[in-house]
Structures are given as C-alpha cells and as structure tokens.
Amino acid sequence: MSVKIAPSILSADFARLGEEIRALDAAGADYIHIDVMDGHFVPNLTIGPGVVKALRSATTKPFDVHLMIEPVDGFIPAFVEAGSDIVTIHAEATRHLDRSLQLIKGLGVKAGVVLNPATPEGVLEYVLDKVDLILVMSVNPGFGGQSFIPSALDKIARIRRMVGERPIEIEVDGGVSAANAAALAAAGATVLVAGSAVFRTPDYRANIDLLR
C-alpha cells in the first residue's frame, strides 16, 4: 500500500492559501497538514483557528492539524470547531497526555501524539489505545526547510514494532524528500508530511507522485 502524502501549507504562498489548498486537493494530496505555532512552544508564529475555519471550505480532504502550542488543552476545542479532522499534540505540551487525548477523542476527531527528535517513544506506551496517529518529527519543530535527522528512521521502526497490529498511522515530518521517502516507508511510516518537496515547483501533482 502506498504512503499517504500530507503537504504542509507552511511552505505555501500565504497570500493565496485557499487557492493553494484547492491545487493540492486537485494534485492528489491525501491530507492537508497545518502547522500551528504559538511563539512559545516553538520560536515562530503561524495561524490560529480562525484561519483554519476560513480554509475549511477549500477542500474536503482531511485537515491534519499539528498544534505546537503550550499549554495546549485550552485551544483544542477551537481547532476542532474550526474543522480539524486530526489534532496532534506534543507530549511535552500537556501535563496529562492521557487526559488531553481523551479531550480530542471526545470532540469526535482523531487524536495524535507528536514526538520531537529527542522525545523517546516510551511516552506512547500507556496511551496507544487512545491514539490514531503518531507524528515523528525528523527535524526540530518551528521552521520549514530543515535537514532530515537520520536517527528518525530507527525511531520509526521501533514505533512500528510498538504499534503492532493496531490501526495507528505513523507520520513523519521534517526534511522529507523523494530521496528518503522509500526508506521512511520501509521503516514503517504511512504518512509523509512534505513542505518544500511538494511546493518546490508549480507541478504539485508530479511532486506528490514522486514522493509516493
């Protein structure tokens, strides 16, 4: 089975985000990956729930919303109401990861946990029954265009073994390109987040197909 491709709109033209999302939809994107940064958990600022809500009408593809926010719980309902289909949160962004995942699931959407490069996969052990997606960061979060951290491959493989037969997607974000996509899939990744690899030329379909 081929991997899913989730283009990150962090690399899109922010002056025409709606058009960009429609183009990604037509190009065959599986998810639309939306990076939300608060200038606190990561040293950058992006968008809030109002923008997510405004973009929702541009596509029926799932919105894969990656919250780089701390504390995160208070913002989860707003992003769900805005149209998020998957909400992923960092293990370090909440004191009570189990409770935060219950909050997301209770609002009727899929829940994900994000692991930074230095975050051990052991944090997942007691919440696997509440997780729909695990996002492995293969760069440090906060900025696009960073180089892939090779140790992510072994981490993905270990998480794949942890997940076993559970229907949990394993997503990877950071430095994803056509050069490493096959290795990531072989390690166990099922969803690839790509920014510059998709937006590097105007032919989004060709770039997505190359990753797949």
Radius of gyration, alpha carbons of the chain:
16
Alpha carbon distance 99, 105 (integer Å): 10
Alpha carbon distance 107, 101 (integer Å): 10
Cβ-contact 212, 6 below 8 angstroms: no
Angle at CA of residue 114, ends 117 and 64, nearest 5° = 130
Catalytic residues, by residue number, are: 35, 173
Q: Three-class SS of residue 92?
A: helix
